[in-house]
Amino acid sequence: MRVLMLSWDFPPRVTGGNAAHVHGLSQALAEAGHDVVVLTPARTHALSTSEHLGRVRVLRADIDLPHIPDERYLAIAASANHGLAQLVLDADSPLKGWKPDIVHGHDWRIGWAADTVARHHGVPFVLTMHGTERVRHGGNLPDGRPTDVNSIEWWLAFRADRLIASTRFMVDQLVTTFELAPEQVVRVPNGIDPTLWAGHDRPTDRDPLVVSWGRVQYEKGFQVLARAMTTVRHRVPDVSCVIAGRGSYLPELQTQIDVEGVSDLIELPGFLGDAALRDLVQRAGCVVLPSLYEPFGLVALEALAAGAPLIVARTGGLAELIVGTDAGLTFEPGNPDDLAHCVELVLRDKTLAHQMTTNARRLIETKYAWDAIATAVVHVYDAAVLHRTRSA
């Protein structure tokens, strides 16, 4: 199939897990013999470009919009979508003469362009919803941007021929929130390349180091980990903690760390590159994902693939990923005492840590490798094409 995939983020532009997902999926589809083009915004001040990453052709649209203030996020997204669609549909487009069989968009920020291109070519529009504003805010949407984004998500849910969500939790949320037919929303997990994180599977060599990383936002729950460390320090000698990442909640997190009196234990290094992050995780005695909300949790897959004993909050996609697998421990979301108990257990019990990493390796290889994910996505494409053909 000829697949046009649209994503706001794509390497080297990375602000979250979506970029890694789109990169892994597009490469796996191309390896399977499909003709894949990724359409994404260029980095700031870059001109529109066409290049190849592996077997995937990447078009980067110039969307630099200095006339729109940064805080006008929806206006930026809307105007950027015009640039994305224009790059594909103009008479001098690098894709002139190339027609997709499927247009696959990722989240709301590129929704207008994805829908426009799909309707122009008369082909199905498949949309992966990596999360929603309503779920992100615990079902209570504040006025302003969250309400506006929710309205866009509603519109896209009814424009798309099929929706993909990474967990049963998110499938249920999409069907319920947007009042969709259950057959319209399909669960396809996120994937990972285990070889990128391999190289260390000896828990006895690991340090008494607690590692967490991701976007530093309130819903990621890093403040719960900070509170838990006040208890762990009295139970595990020489324990330390690193919380890597950047985000708008970083100043508040630093303040809480100082107030809790654990600034000597917890390091906030900011964003870490892939090599530094992998080295850190492969030394960790455990990885903790304390999210209050998490639709899937790509970070969890990365930790499992790196062979790090994993502890996650029992919420959303994290619970679905870990519960019943014996590949990790779970704790009550927002409960620092429960989390502290799990951290102590994993750091002290080397046999348990080894069992967890053994089960994790088996889980990754059988369910979350990219070739299996790409096969599942192609089934969604086929169903969308068949439905459109029958409806014509």
Q: What is the tally of helices (H) and strands (E) in the chain?
A: 14, 14
Residues of the chain with CATH 3.40.50.2000: 2-191+369-391, 194-367
Q: Are 312 and 297 in contact (CB under 8 A)?
A: yes
Tokens of 364: 């990754």
pLDDT tens digit sequence for 98-140: 999 999 999 999 999 999 999 999 999 999 998 888 888 877 8
pLDDT tens digit sequence for 162-174: 999 988 888 998 9
Confidence band of 45 (pLDDT split at 50, 70, 90): low
- The owner of tokens 């008494």 is 208
Report the candidate in 156, 166, 162, 99 with the shortest Cα–Cα distance to residue 379: 162
- Taking domain 2-191+369-391, whether its CATH number is 3.10.310.10 is answered by no
Q: Are 103 and 124 in contact (CB under 8 A)?
A: yes
Give the 3-state secondary structure of 180-203.
Answer: CCHHHEEECCCCECHHHCCCCCCH
pLDDT tens digit sequence for 270-322: 999 888 998 899 889 999 999 998 777 778 888 888 888 999 999 877 888 89
Give residue 48's pLDDT: 62
Tokens of 377: 């996505």
Rounded to 5°, angle at Cα 161 from 156 and 167: 75
Rounded to 5°, angle at Cα 291 from 289 and 295: 105
Task: Give the residue, 175 or 75, on which the prediction is more confident.
Answer: 175
Cβ atoms < 10 Å from Cβ of 197: 22
Cβ atoms < 10 Å from Cβ of 100: 21
Contacts of 87 (CB under 8 A, 6+ apart): 39, 48, 59, 61, 93, 94
Give residue 199's pLDDT: 60
Give residue 44's pLDDT: 61
CA distance 340 to 325: 21
Positive or negative CA dihedral for 326, 328, 332, 338? Answer: positive
Q: Is 112 strand, coil or helix?
A: helix
> Which residue blocks in 32-167 are alpha helix, DSSP H?
73-89, 111-121, 133-136, 145-159
Q: What is the mean pLDDT of residues 40-52?
A: 74
Which helix or strand (DSSP H or E) is residue 330 part of? strand 328-331
Give residue 275's pLDDT: 86
User: Quick one: fold of 194-367?
Assistant: Rossmann fold (3.40.50)
CA distance 349 to 324: 20
Give residue 86's pLDDT: 92
Given a cut of 80, whether residue 232 has pLDDT beyond it is: yes
Given a cut of 70, whether residue 200 has pLDDT beyond it is: no
- The owner of tokens 């920020």 is 109
DSSP calls for 269-325 = EE---HHHHHHHHHH-SEEEE--S--SS-HHHHHHHHTT--EEEESSHHHHHHHTTT
Q: Report the percentage of the chain scoring pLDDT > 70.
A: 95
Report the candidate in 363, 386, 378 with the shortest Cα–Cα distance to residue 29: 378
Cβ atoms < 10 Å from Cβ of 223: 22
